[in-house]
Amino acid sequence: MSAFDFSLLSQGGPMMLVVLLMAVIALVIFVERLLYLHRGQIRSTSFVNGIKNILAKRRLVEALTVCEETPGPVAAVVKAALLNASADETRLRYAVQEAALVEIPVLERRIGALAAIAQIAPLVGLLGTVLGMITTFHAFMQGGEYATARALSSGLWQALLVTAGSLIVSIPAYLASHFLGGRVRALVRDVEWSGNEIMQYLLNEYRAGSPGPDDSAR
């Protein structure tokens, strides 16, 4: 067989439909999360250094504008710090942590569902295998010693196809969930570093400078 015969899917029994549905859901989740995380990925070091350069000129409003125009959790956390630039250390730290607690769960959204599909798909395949074997034994009992190979093969086809299908779904879903998890962990590290870096800058270097026009406007 030079190409995959899609007519085999119809021989996988009812559990094959469940497996196909899980495959579609997993694919949609992966593509959506991949695009979302890609949009939120920025060069945090360059971004924070750029914000520092703007703040060094005492242009707080301009720094806030840059944060608003930059997508992703890093910019959101830095913006939260800038909005509390004149607050005491406790309030500033709380604002940064609060912003991070809002952003991080959004990054992790639906990745757990992808991991769940990777774990559940083999179980669905196992159920399909059991149903296929039940069909085989039922055909054997009905035909007795005259049971034909065609009658027996129907159940075996169902058992093997749904097992193969579930593994074909489970393995990529497992790899995809780990890949996305790695992207999320990288973003979380950027968020933590950026929040701490801008907070230390505001508490030390920024407050040590003389007030400028933007400061007086606050």
**Tens digits of per-residue pLDDT, 134-179?**
776 666 666 555 555 565 566 677 778 888 889 999 999 999 999 9
The yes-or-no verdict on residue 10 having pLDDT over 70 is: no
Residue scoring higher pLDDT (40 or 20)? 20
- Residue found under tokens 């949609």: 28
Looking at residue 203, the DSSP 8-state letter turns out to be I
Q: Residue 12 contacts by C-beta under 8 Å, 6 or more apart in sequence?
A: 19, 128, 157, 158, 161, 162, 165
Q: Residue 204 contacts by C-beta under 8 Å, 6 or more apart in sequence?
A: none
Q: Are 81 and 195 in contact (CB under 8 A)?
A: yes
> What is this structure's pTM?
0.76
pLDDT tens digits for range 52-106: 888 888 888 998 999 888 888 899 999 999 888 888 888 988 999 899 888 888 8
Locate 142 and state its tokens. 């009905």
What pLDDT is recorded for position 153? 63
How far apart, in whole angstroms, are the C-alpha atoms of residue 23 and residue 118?
10
What pLDDT is recorded for position 212? 44
What pLDDT is recorded for position 215? 45
